[in-house]
Structure 1
Amino acid sequence: MARARHGLGALIHEPALSAASGIDKEFLLAMAQDDGPSKMADIQRRLNVDVNYASQYRLRLIAAELIYATRRGYVDFALPYPRDYLRDQATADVYATPRD
């Protein structure tokens, strides 16, 4: 199963996220901290932004078909397994960053 998820990452997630801005990716990483649909208030808090700012990125990511609204105040990923992919990428980035 892990091998299949890795394949999804290379074939689906990397291309889908390639057009996303840095802030789009931060929003998605904030979502990846949850094991299911993310509460917008939690994303807003994690990003330390106001409600309007978070809402604009929510709309951008919905338009890009990377996320969707599950119910009022909640969003989830539109693609299969992006949460795992983003978590793996964040972990890889931490270990790839040189330390002084």
Structure 2
Amino acid sequence: MLFGSKKTTQILDLSRNKFSFDLSHLTFPKKSLIWLDLNHNKIYGSIPAALTKVENLQHFNVSHNPQLSGQIPQGGELQRFDQYAYFHTKLCGSPLLPCTK
């Protein structure tokens, strides 16, 4: 309902709601989305590579989702955000520490 490549959502702030869902397989509007804030929830899975295709992302925060894990996809705007956008997760890769095997 809220996510999808054909949506025209510009700002999506679902922070501090205790939402629990798998972020891994969601798609996002490539041209319209400029703000995605999902901090302080119970989101799990990984950050989908589809987020690297969002063209004008100006704000991004998935912090305080302790079950969110895996490597941060490279490309797009995701490395532009500082470590605090990813704080208190199990994510790795730029701008955080490299992933280890």
Give TM-score, length-normalised by structure 1. Answer: 0.22
- Give the number of the structure whose residues are more often strand, by fraction: 2
- Give the number of the structure whose residues are more often helix, by fraction: 1
